[in-house]
Amino acid sequence: MSAEQILKTQIIQKAWEDAAFKQELLTDPKKAIESAFGIVVPDSIELSAVEETTSKFYLVIPPNPAEVLSGDDPAPAGMW
């Protein structure tokens, strides 16, 4: 498991266990992550948190690696 996936798992676990953290994560995810984990998400990264339900799911389509590596943007940021 990658470091990014481990962090995502830790964030989700904390949201399940801590209602206040979950609410902050939904309203201000950068602040919530910094407060709980000491990780500063750069201003250049836009971060959103959404909550799935039993009847609402989200499919996240990551950037195409071929486009990221050959695009005009600077080198991929990788993990924040």
Number of domains making up the chain:
1
Supply the pTM of this predicted model: 0.79
Asked if residues 32 and 14 have their Cβ atoms less than 8 Å apart, the reply is no
The pair of three-digit structure tokens given for residue 40, joined into one six-digit string: 């500063």
74 occurs within a structural domain: no
Q: Is residue 45 part of a domain?
A: yes
Classify residue 11 as exposed, middle or buried by CB count within 10 Å of its CB (0-12, 13-18, 19+). Answer: buried
Question: Is the residue at 75 inside a domain?
Answer: no
* Contacts for 51-55: CB closer than 8 Å, 24+ residues apart: 51/22, 51/26
Domain of residue 59, residue span: 3-69
Predicted confidence pLDDT, tens digits, the chain (80 residues): 899 999 999 999 999 999 999 999 999 999 999 999 999 999 999 999 999 999 999 999 999 988 877 656 555 555 55
